[in-house]
Amino acid sequence: MRDFGREGLWFDYTADPALVTPEWVAEFDAVLLDAPSAGFPALTGVAASKIVTVDFAAAGGNPAPEAFLKPLKEKLLTAAGAQRRAEWEQFLKSLEPEARSVNGNVANYERRPQALTFQQPMSVKASMARTQAAPDLRLELFAAEPDISKPIAMAWDARGRCWVAETSDYPHGVVPGGEGNDRIKICEDTDGDGRADKFTIFADHLNIPTSLTFANGGIIVSQPPRLLFLKDNDGDDKADVRKDVMTGWGIGDTHAQANNLHYGIDNWFYGCVGYSGFEGRVGGEPKKFAQGTYRFKADGSALEFLHQFTNNSWGQSANAAGDQFGGTANGAPLFYGGIPATHVPAGLRVMTAKKINTEEKVHTITPNFRQVDVLGGYTAAAGSNFIESAKLPPRLQGKVMVCEPTMKVITLMDVKPDGAGAVAGDAFNLVASTDEWMSPVFADVGPDGAVWFADWQNFIIQHNPTPSEQSGGYNAKTGPGGAHENELRDHSRGRIYRVVWSQAKEPAALQKLDPADPEQLTAALNSDIQERRLSAQRLLIEGKQTAAIAGLKKRVQANDGSVGALHALWTLQGLNALDETVFNAALFARDARLRRNAVRALPVDAAGQKLYFGSGIVSDPDPVTRLAALLKLSEFPTTPEIQTLVKKLAVDDANRKDEWLHEAARILMRRHKAEAYKEGPNLLPADGFEVTGADGLPEGWKPRGGFGRAGFGPPGAEAPPAKWTVTEAAGSVHGGTRALSCKAEGMGGSILNAEVDLKPQTEYRLSGWVKVSNFGNAGFPGRGITLSIGAAGPARGNPGSRVETERFLRNVDWTYVETTYSTGSNPKAAILISHRGQGESFFDDVKLCELVPETETESVTAGVVQRGEDIFWKHPVAACVNCHALAGKGSTVGPALDGIANRKDAPYLLESLTDPNARLADGYTATPISPMPPMRLILKPQEFEDVIAFLQSLK
């Protein structure tokens, strides 16, 4: 691919035999099979002459040697046939010539024998000819320079018009006051030919706008340090209103600013931010975070940080069910956000997001790429939007698009459920190019069902680090905004393309919305395009379309599995029209997505709790829905009954074995003060750091590396290395007589390491007390004070093998921290105490203990009917009357229980309460699963026996 792409030999790739149908193969000129892939089935209906089989392992290098490539190329052309070969040769002759020149500003980060030459920019025609899409897809130009320039983000209004954020100021032109040279432009196709022909500047004098989304008759624009609200009041498509929504977004580095604004299914607005972060006050509360996703209210009254990523971040999205995703620029392009940080109690370190992509490499079709840190992988990844459209092939549905402008591709990722989480397999490319200026930075499905993407059109993408003689081959200068200055960086070009399916039953056409037509908007909630569904939902709520309420309720109650029911539910929530009937219909729906959103939408008042515990959703068979249920449980006020439930949920096998459900259980135990485990003895050496060795350090602990540096840049201005000591000074000890201290005069870092042997497949808690003073050098990569544990030995460094406690980037007095660690098949563990940054840190009472489930100590006697009857009617969590009727009183969710003891024997009753899904109740067809949770999860042992006794008395 990489080596043949510049010659017009393009590939599509799959490792999934199910996708290799005769119809799909017929779209291609040849089929290339990897010889060692013995598990790949024989291709039926494909001519043998069309198949080329090779052993890619024999390529023996990266790039592959000429001795391998030349014969392979000849085999491929032979397999394609004489006519296609002739057409290919003619295609190469028809290409506009490529102009190149030597230029000293082209960095050689990859340490090639010769630096790449500079490719002159190409015309639209020449660039499109060098840009690949699948055989059944075609590229269509929507807009290009000079009509538009530097498009960084797009959004569509109700009429389907494309609004573009243009930023020629990026990356250096940071203006503190926000009055720059950038614009929001409306691009409109007035004659329906698929090409924009009318361009209107909606707002100008902006400064590096990175994203936009529609709200309240206008748009919200992310323009750090502020979010702006812009609105046209007189209908001339010019902004008359310009006001701040909130301020506090960092501007220290322009490629790490707030980005990717979206309207969410839950009626909040969502976005992403890199390491420039946010620090300010919102709703009267101080907020500070970086590198992850957040949500906010359109009026600026609320802001919540949600999912913590690992490095600079430029992606936020949600699937049809509202499950959260996002991505980082470097090496981790796709994350799943399973647990919002708002649910995590202070001091508890919990996984809120996890990298889920399984493929690290990018499938470029050119060897001429420039990258500095993740060579061949993701280093400028942007976006994570899902494809949903009946106007695109079935194989693309549900795929995630990630733009990688340094490699000139839009990558596809195949997201699948993985327990309560997700995993993303490699689904190859949507678009790839050999034009070294073609730089996709934004991709989404537009209101016509096609994929629209913004081509940044720049030869220079790399932001930092700044080239030096040692890295890049020449010394450059870091400019404002954190990017290296380079005269080759373009500030005027830009294009927008549409990717269209040639086999669509109907041509792509705009789905327009009328804000004044509630019937049309309600129908649009079931659109095949997510953007249209969300726009219709928002317009119904903003327009206070109460006339739609009856139809919305019918949509939810239809129980037909349609995606429109999810949007109807949240539209009702936005119109303050959700009621018990609608909630019950959603909580008991066949569609797990609807059940999941119903529990997310539940209020936390008494009525919400009654609906929650009456639904059995806490043990929902769908793991992602169960995760939502556990998180909702963490929002309820603590009661003894909830504490009992939490303890049992925490030790339940299904929850313990799923990493996300396990994390949710940890939150529940802390929130409701319901510890389900007891700690074994401390397994760490030098318990409490009271015992020191000959080196003066705690016995059994050894330094692992260390450095000291006075500032950024190459080594030279060194400071003394960070130093570990055992201290007895007043105020420096938390427990006992001694504590551990690390001090760094400059930008220092060091790690203290201890290794211990543990049990396989066992869970442990690492905890301790930490104090930090005089912390500095806040911009140092990987900075912070923390404890961590991970696999030692051969498994050291495996992805996901290390977890850490809260990481401190500020001064704190003695603070308790903890995390849990499961050994899996790696019983040897390394515990690290890390100090990275200027200042002094103190650690004390550090423990690593096995977590042993608490055993039931309650003695159980024969059940008492009267106590069981009280539970049936009055139990605050497990009252049977929430789902069953007796003597004409109660709920009709489940069957009436009058005379149940005459109809069913004792073993049946026991099974029904212990495992409700083993056999559904006679005549129950509302949902494919029982809404009743396993009652042993909720009731204490004696309460369970009392309920059994009462049921057996109902004759």
pLDDT tens digit sequence for 264-284 = 999 999 999 999 999 999 999
User: Residue 490: pLDDT above 60?
Assistant: yes
Residue-wise pLDDT tens digits, 277-304:
999 999 999 999 999 999 999 999 999 9
Comparing 1-5, 63-67, 621-625, 813-817, the range with the smallest average pLDDT is 63-67
**CA–CA gap between residue 121 and residue 454 (Å, rounded):** 16
The per-residue pLDDT for 856 is: 63
Q: Which long-range contacts (C-beta less than 8 Å, at least 24 apart) are formed by 875-878?
A: 875/641, 875/939, 875/943, 876/609, 876/613, 876/639, 876/641, 877/613, 877/639, 877/641, 877/642, 877/645, 877/938, 878/613, 878/641, 878/935, 878/938, 878/939, 878/943
CB 458 within 8 A of CB 408: no
User: Residue 781: pLDDT above 80?
Assistant: no
Question: Phi/psi at 635 (nearest 5 deg)?
Answer: -90, -15
Residue of higher predicted confidence among 344 and 469: 344
**CA–CA gap between residue 483 and residue 290 (Å, rounded):** 19
Percent of the chain with pLDDT over 70: 94
Domain with CATH 2.60.120.260 in the chain: 687-853
- DSSP assignment string, 221-264: EEETTEEEEEE-SSSSSS--EEEEEEE-B--SSGGGSSEEEEE-
Pick the CATH number of 865-952 from 1.10.10.10, 1.10.760.10, 3.30.70.2740, 1.10.167.10: 1.10.760.10
CB 121 within 8 A of CB 99: no
The per-residue pLDDT for 13 is: 83
Binned at pLDDT 50, 70 and 90, residue 715 comes out as very low
Residue of higher predicted confidence among 452 and 837: 452
Secondary structure string (H, E, C) spanning 908-941: HHHHHHHCCCCCCCCCCCCCCCCCCCCHHHHCCH
Binned at pLDDT 50, 70 and 90, residue 346 comes out as confident
- The DSSP element (H or E) to which 219 belongs, if any, is strand 218-223
The closest of 140, 152, 128, 149 to 452, measured between CA atoms, is 140
The per-residue pLDDT for 719 is: 59
Comparing 155-159, 378-382, 479-483, 713-717, the range with the smallest average pLDDT is 713-717
Residue 327 to residues 259, 452, 617, 631, 847: CA-CA distances in angstroms?
Answer: 12, 19, 30, 23, 34
Pick the CATH number of 687-853 from 3.40.50.150, 2.60.120.260, 1.10.3720.10, 3.30.420.130: 2.60.120.260
- CB count in 10 Å sphere of residue 419: 17
Can you tell me which residue has the tokens 């073993």?
907
Find the radius of gyration of the CA atoms of the chain. Answer: 30
Comparing 152-161, 253-262, 470-479, 501-510, the range with the smallest average pLDDT is 501-510
Structure tokens at 253: 């580095």
Mean pLDDT of 402-412: 98
**CA–CA gap between residue 438 and residue 122 (Å, rounded):** 9
Question: Phi/psi at 876 (nearest 5 deg)?
Answer: -65, -20
Mean pLDDT of 451-458: 98
The model's pTM: 0.89
CB 173 within 8 A of CB 126: no
Residue 273 to residues 167, 277, 286, 330: CA-CA distances in angstroms?
Answer: 18, 6, 17, 14
Binned at pLDDT 50, 70 and 90, residue 708 comes out as very low
Q: Which residues are bridge partners to 325 per DSSP? A: 317, 336
**CA–CA gap between residue 339 and residue 351 (Å, rounded):** 7
The per-residue pLDDT for 713 is: 34
Residue 436 to residues 118, 119, 259, 267, 323: CA-CA distances in angstroms?
Answer: 9, 7, 25, 40, 35
Residue-wise pLDDT tens digits, 230-248:
999 999 999 999 999 999 9
**CA–CA gap between residue 845 and residue 733 (Å, rounded):** 9
Secondary structure string (H, E, C) spanning 582-647: HHHHHHCCCCHHHHHHHHHHCCCCHHHHHHHHHHCHHHCCCHHHHHHHHHHHCCCCCCHHHHHHHH
**CA–CA gap between residue 256 and residue 272 (Å, rounded):** 10
DSSP secondary structure letter of residue 396:
G
User: Cis omega (within 30 of 0) on the bond before 146?
Assistant: yes
* Mean pLDDT for all residues in the chain: 91
User: Residue 788: pLDDT above 90?
Assistant: yes
User: Residue 799: pLDDT above 60?
Assistant: no
Name the architecture of domain 124-501.
6 Propeller (2.120)
* Centroid of chain to Cα 326: 3
Mean pLDDT of 131-135: 95
Q: Which residues are bridge partners to 318 per DSSP? A: 324
Can you tell me which residue has the tokens 């006001």?
243
User: Residue 712: pLDDT above 50?
Assistant: no
Percent of the chain with pLDDT over 90: 70
Q: Which residues are bridge partners to 815 per DSSP? A: 770
Residue 713 to residues 89, 391, 481, 609, 778: CA-CA distances in angstroms?
Answer: 50, 51, 17, 56, 15
The per-residue pLDDT for 749 is: 80
Give residues with Cβ within 8 angstroms of 542, minimum separation 6.
Answer: 215, 216, 217, 515
User: Residue 603: pLDDT above 70?
Assistant: yes
The per-residue pLDDT for 925 is: 72
Domain with CATH 2.120.10.30 in the chain: 124-501
The per-residue pLDDT for 487 is: 94
Structure tokens at 416: 């699948």
Binned at pLDDT 50, 70 and 90, residue 714 comes out as very low
CB 345 within 8 A of CB 355: no
Structure tokens at 277: 């972060």
User: Residue 355: pLDDT above 90?
Assistant: yes
- The DSSP element (H or E) to which 382 belongs, if any, is strand 382-386
**CA–CA gap between residue 850 and residue 382 (Å, rounded):** 41
Residue-wise pLDDT tens digits, 657-696:
999 999 999 999 999 999 999 999 999 988 779 888 889 9
Can you tell me which residue has the tokens 């404002």?
480
Mean pLDDT of 313-336: 96
Q: End-to-end CA distance of the chain: give it in Å, rounded.
A: 75
Comparing 94-108, 129-143, 640-654, 874-888, the range with the smallest average pLDDT is 874-888
Question: Phi/psi at 680 (nearest 5 deg)?
Answer: -80, -170
Domain with CATH 1.10.760.10 in the chain: 865-952
What does DSSP say about strands 269-273 and 278-282: parallel, antiparallel, or unpaired?
Answer: unpaired
* Centroid of chain to Cα 682: 36
* Centroid of chain to Cα 743: 36
Burial class (CB in 10 A: 0-12, 13-18, 19+), 906: exposed
Mean pLDDT of 708-736: 70
Mean pLDDT of 476-482: 92
The closest of 845, 839, 846, 843 to 771, measured between CA atoms, is 843
- The DSSP element (H or E) to which 858 belongs, if any, is none
Binned at pLDDT 50, 70 and 90, residue 780 comes out as low
Q: Which long-range contacts (C-beta less than 8 Å, at least 24 apart) are formed by 852-855?
A: 852/677, 852/678, 852/679, 852/680, 853/651, 853/676, 853/677, 854/647, 854/651, 854/675, 854/676, 854/677, 854/678
The per-residue pLDDT for 513 is: 97
The per-residue pLDDT for 597 is: 99
Mean pLDDT of 361-383: 92
User: Residue 554: pLDDT above 60?
Assistant: yes
The per-residue pLDDT for 709 is: 42
